[in-house]
């Protein structure tokens, strides 16, 4: 008897006969259904009970697909019939399951065409619940087991199953929502599809207008976003390079102090930098007032608009460029520069003709990261935008504002997606074609040359100014949580911390009375749920990419890394459009938040996994396989233990990102599942800067401790096997992109 088939058969039968078929109104974790009319009440009934009562008869063919593999369960894997039956049952079962889900909704038939063909249905159905979910999983693995039996990937059931699972997940939670969004951009007010409507919306003057060139009117949002992103990309790269040079080639002993800077953007909640900038440079800001008094100038609102966003984004994203470039600068082999100097080039010539060109891929990479980050940034333009509209905020207001125009949001999201995907594609092409190898594995003696003076001194100056500025901004953030009314009344107080985090202890136990606890625990819970799942999915994907060969591997890789280039606002909009209605009714649940984090942060796990798995010699797997273990066991007992550092890195980053993410979250939170960042945005909108800042400071402290603890754990894990030092840092450039 084939045990794999038996397992999935049992899972499917449980889904069909035991668990409620439809989604539970009370939420995923409610167990009211067990006591309230189960198994006959049609809201809670498993599919088989529905059928026995003569309801939802369109579910009956599913039983056929579920039970068909019983015919072949005692046959050998190599029997052609075995694979044929499994493939058909799984494939057709999945198709039928989805087709019925999409065609019958809460108001009967979902499309006019079906209504015309089959007539009035007189019945309806809600979204998939536990039952449908399990049956779907069982169909999926029937299919992959069937495919494996045909000899694909050496007939390995585990590998084919994993590939199938990853494809299904990515398809369901990345491609489906994005496609759904594309289709809603094509609809007019009446829900009719029309290309004309799309083009009139897409080429709207408000998106592409160029009035700013000829008059005082603003330009279209697309141009605003594009010019801002180009500027931010260029300047962060420049600053990042300066920092990287000072850190590695200045000969300054304090230079290593720059490193912790890289953690800052990852653990800083959105908005706080924008708020600090307003309090420094706003109309009534400290610096503005000081300068105005000093020179007798009229204070102005110059900071609102492009200048303010630019400063805030430079502060936020320069450390990312630094992080990317420090690796590149360190990687340049000193021997090349020594060769150049031996040939009598001056330090400046060497720098200009040898070192700098070798850094090109790193520079391009840093530029593109800055570009994508700026495009996707949501918090800073929201606070500092003034009349300078950018795509990410326009998308938000198209959904939440009085317009409530999902079609417009979808069109804007598409424009944004085109920009970032182009950048993403350009990056891959650039990195794919050129080789800048400097590490050859051969003897690599020598120490890095110092920079020429004419580069070094300006660099020092910039780093000092910038470092001081960053310190002032973060100092203000901490200080702002302890004053009565930031900007007006600077009496010191613990008021905001008490309002947000008050705890009372009496005979009945601990009472979390502060207004922030609710969202704080929700955030911790959701981040802690999402982190291991993200790491697991990422590592399995990395394993498939590094260790296995199969057809379509490149497309597979591109698909899994795609969410990298999709800004959070776009994912948010896409998820609302796709998961608000049956068959996948997820909005308003905590599950949708967890899912959005998993797929937004998955590339981090994949990257971390690939980096560390490439360092493990394949002979280890082979040894295990030769000794009779199957791939699952090899993966579990050989590879996983050796990858502890990568696992921890992926865990930390997905946890921290889940705590500071805002752009997708803002669309997906609900009253029951409110997240810290959306609570903070509410406080900012209410002009309660004190609480917003106090909460942000607490979040920063919490995340710093998490990072520190994990760092310690990673350090210990290193002893088990030689790996490249600073693995956590390697994963970081990926981590920060996911926003």
Partner 1 sequence: MKATITALGSTTIALIGALSGSAIAAEKLTYYCSAQEDWCQLMANGFEEATGIKVNMTRKSSGETMAQLKAEADNPKGDIWWGGTGDPHLQAAEEGLTEPYESPMRGELHDWAIKQAESGGNATIGIYSGALGYGYNEEVLEANNLPVPACWKDLLKPEYKGHVQMANPNSSGTAYTTLATIVQLFGEEEGFEFMKGLHKNINQYTKSGSAPIKAAARGENTIGIVFMHDAVAQAASGFPIKVVAPCEGTGYEIGGMSIVKGARNPENAQKFYDWALQADVQSRSLEVKAFQVMSNKAAESSPLAPDLDSLTLIDYDFTKYGSSDERKRLLKKWDDEVSVLPQ
Binding positions for partner 1, rule: CB under 8 A: 25, 32, 35-36, 106-107, 124, 215-217, 278, 282-284, 301, 304, 386-387, 393, 397, 400-404, 485, 487-489, 581, 588, 670-671, 682, 685-687
Six-digit token string for 382: 């929201």
In DSSP terms, 120 is beta-bridged to: none
In DSSP terms, 512 is beta-bridged to: 503
Q: Give min distance, CB of 671 to partner 1, in A.
A: 5
Q: Give min distance, CB of 547 to partner 1, in A.
A: 46
Q: Give min distance, CB of 647 to partner 1, in A.
A: 38
Q: Give min distance, CB of 373 to partner 1, in A.
A: 22
Tell me if 63 sits within 8 A of 137, measured CB to CB. Answer: no
Region at 8 (left for phi over 0; alpha for psi -120 to 50; beta for the rest): alpha
Nearer to partner 1, 33 or 130 (CB): 33
Six-digit token string for 594: 């967890």
Phi, psi of 640 (to 5 degrees): -55, -50
Q: Give min distance, CB of 193 to partner 1, in A.
A: 20
Tell me if 444 sits within 8 A of 244, measured CB to CB. Answer: no
Nearer to partner 1, 211 or 453 (CB): 211
Please list, residue by residue across 323-349, b when 16 or more beta carbons sit within 10 angstroms of its beta carbon and e when fewer do: bbbbbbbeebbbeebbebeeeebebee
Q: Give min distance, CB of 349 to partner 1, in A.
A: 51
What sign does the CA torsion over 4, 5, 6, 11 have?
positive
User: 512: part of which helix (H) or strand (E)?
Assistant: strand 509-512
Tell me if 145 sits within 8 A of 157, measured CB to CB. Answer: yes
Nearer to partner 1, 401 or 552 (CB): 401
Place of tokens 């400063």: 311
Tell me if 637 sits within 8 A of 629, measured CB to CB. Answer: yes
Q: Give min distance, CB of 282 to partner 1, in A.
A: 5
Q: Is 27 helix (H, G, I), strand (E, B) or coil?
A: coil
Nearer to partner 1, 304 or 419 (CB): 304
Say whether the peptide bond before residue 583 is cis (omega within 30 degrees of 0): yes
How far is residue 665's CA from residue 71's CA, in Å, rounded to a whole number? 47
How far is residue 95's CA from residue 462's CA, in Å, rounded to a whole number? 60
Place of tokens 């690939």: 610
What does the DSSP assignment read for 58-112? GGHHHHHHHHGGGGGTTS-TT-HHHHHHHHHHHHHHHHHHHHHHHHEETTEESSH
Closest by CA position to 579, among listed 587, 591, 568: 587
Q: Is 128 helix (H, G, I), strand (E, B) or coil?
A: strand
Q: Give min distance, CB of 595 to partner 1, in A.
A: 20
Six-digit token string for 17: 């006969």
Q: Give min distance, CB of 199 to partner 1, in A.
A: 19
Q: Give min distance, CB of 300 to partner 1, in A.
A: 8
Q: Give min distance, CB of 683 to partner 1, in A.
A: 10
SS (H, E, C) 125-176: CCCECHHHHHHHHHHHHHHHHHHHHCCHHHHCHHHHHHHHHHHHHHHHHHHH
Q: Give min distance, CB of 189 to partner 1, in A.
A: 10
Q: Give min distance, CB of 659 to partner 1, in A.
A: 21
Place of tokens 């002032």: 472
- Give the N- to C-terminal CA distance of the chain in Å, as an integer: 48
Nearer to partner 1, 25 or 76 (CB): 25
Q: Is 513 helix (H, G, I), strand (E, B) or coil?
A: coil
138 burial level (CB within 10 Å; 0-12, 13-18, 19+)? buried
What sign does the CA torsion over 379, 381, 385, 389 have?
negative
């Amino acid at each position: 008897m084939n045990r794999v088939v038996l397992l999935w058969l049992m899972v499917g039968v449980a889904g069909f006969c035991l668990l409620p078929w439809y989604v539970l109104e009370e939420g995923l974790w409610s167990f009211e259904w067990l006591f309230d009319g189960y198994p006959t009440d049609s809201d809670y009934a498993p599919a088989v009970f529905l059928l026995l009562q003569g309801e939802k008869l369109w579910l009956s063919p599913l039983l056929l697909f579920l039970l068909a593999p019983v015919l072949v369960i005692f046959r050998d894997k190599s029997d052609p019939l075995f694979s044929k039956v499994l493939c058909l049952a799984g494939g057709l079962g999945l198709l039928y399951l989805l087709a019925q889900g999409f065609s019958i909704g809460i108001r009967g038939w979902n499309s006019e065409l079906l209504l015309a063909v089959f007539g009035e249905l007189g019945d309806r159905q809600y979204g998939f619940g536990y039952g449908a979910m399990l049956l779907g999983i069982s169909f999926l693995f029937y299919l992959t087991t069937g495919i494996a039996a045909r000899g694909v990937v050496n007939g390995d059931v585990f590998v084919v199953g994993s590939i199938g699972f990853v494809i299904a997940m990515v398809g369901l939670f990345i491609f489906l929502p994005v496609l759904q969004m594309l289709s809603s951009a094509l609809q007019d007010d009446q829900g009719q599809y029309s290309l004309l409507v799309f083009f009139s919306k897409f080429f709207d003057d408000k998106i592409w207008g160029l009035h700013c060139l000829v008059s005082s009117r603003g330009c279209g949002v697309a141009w605003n976003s594009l010019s801002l992103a180009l500027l931010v990309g260029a300047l962060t790269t420049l600053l990042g390079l300066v920092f990287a040079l000072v850190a590695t080639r200045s000969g300054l002993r304090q230079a290593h102090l720059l490193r912790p800077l890289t953690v800052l953007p990852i653990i800083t909640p959105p908005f706080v930098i924008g708020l600090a900038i307003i309090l420094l440079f706003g109309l009534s800001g400290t610096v503005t007032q000081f300068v105005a008094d000093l020179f007798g100038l009229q204070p102005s609102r110059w900071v609102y608009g492009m200048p303010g966003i630019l400063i805030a984004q430079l502060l936020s994203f320069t450390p990312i460029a630094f992080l990317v470039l420090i690796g590149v600068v360190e990687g340049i082999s000193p021997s090349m520069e020594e060769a150049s100097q031996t040939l009598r080039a001056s330090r400046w010539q060497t720098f200009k003709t040898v070192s700098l060109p070798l850094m090109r891929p790193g520079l391009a990479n840093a530029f593109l990261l800055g570009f994508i980050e700026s495009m996707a940034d949501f918090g800073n333009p929201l606070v500092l935008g003034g009349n300078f509209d950018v795509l990410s905020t326009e998308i938000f207001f198209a959904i939440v504002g009085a317009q409530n125009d999902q079609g417009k949001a979808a069109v804007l999201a598409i424009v944004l997606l085109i920009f970032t995907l182009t950048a993403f594609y350009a990056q891959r092409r650039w990195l794919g074609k050129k080789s800048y190898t400097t590490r050859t594995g051969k003897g690599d003696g020598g120490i890095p040359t110092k920079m020429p003076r004419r580069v070094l001194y300006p660099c020092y100056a910039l780093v000092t100014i910038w470092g001081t500025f960053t310190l002032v901004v973060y100092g203000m953030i901490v200080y702002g949580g302890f004053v009565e009314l930031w900007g007006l009344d600077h009496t010191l107080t613990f008021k905001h911390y008490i309002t947000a985090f008050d705890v009372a202890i009496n005979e009945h136990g601990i009472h979390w009375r502060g207004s922030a606890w609710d969202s704080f625990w929700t955030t911790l819970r959701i981040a802690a749920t999402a982190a291991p799942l993200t790491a697991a999915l990422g590592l399995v994907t990395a394993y498939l990419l590094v260790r296995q060969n199969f057809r379509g591997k490149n497309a597979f890789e591109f698909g899994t890394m795609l969410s990298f280039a999709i800004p959070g606002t776009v994912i948010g909009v896409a998820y609302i459009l796709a998961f608000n209605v049956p068959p996948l009714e997820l909005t308003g649940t905590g599950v949708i938040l967890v899912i959005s984090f998993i797929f937004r942060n998955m590339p981090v796990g994949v990257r971390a996994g690939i980096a560390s798995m490439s360092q493990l010699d394949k002979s280890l797997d082979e040894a295990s396989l030769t000794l009779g273990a199957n791939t699952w066991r090899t993966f579990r007992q050989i590879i996983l233990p050796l990858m502890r550092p990568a696992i921890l890195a992926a865990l930390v980053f997905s946890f921290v990102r889940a705590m500071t993410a805002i752009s997708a979250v803002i669309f997906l939170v609900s009253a029951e599942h409110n997240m810290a960042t959306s609570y903070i945005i509410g406080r900012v909108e209410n002009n309660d800067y004190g609480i917003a800042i106090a909460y942000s400071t607490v979040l920063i402290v919490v995340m710093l401790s998490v990072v520190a603890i994990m760092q310690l754990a990673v350090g210990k894990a290193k002893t088990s096997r030689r790996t490249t030092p600073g693995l956590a840092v390697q994963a970081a450039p990926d981590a920060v992109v996911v926003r």
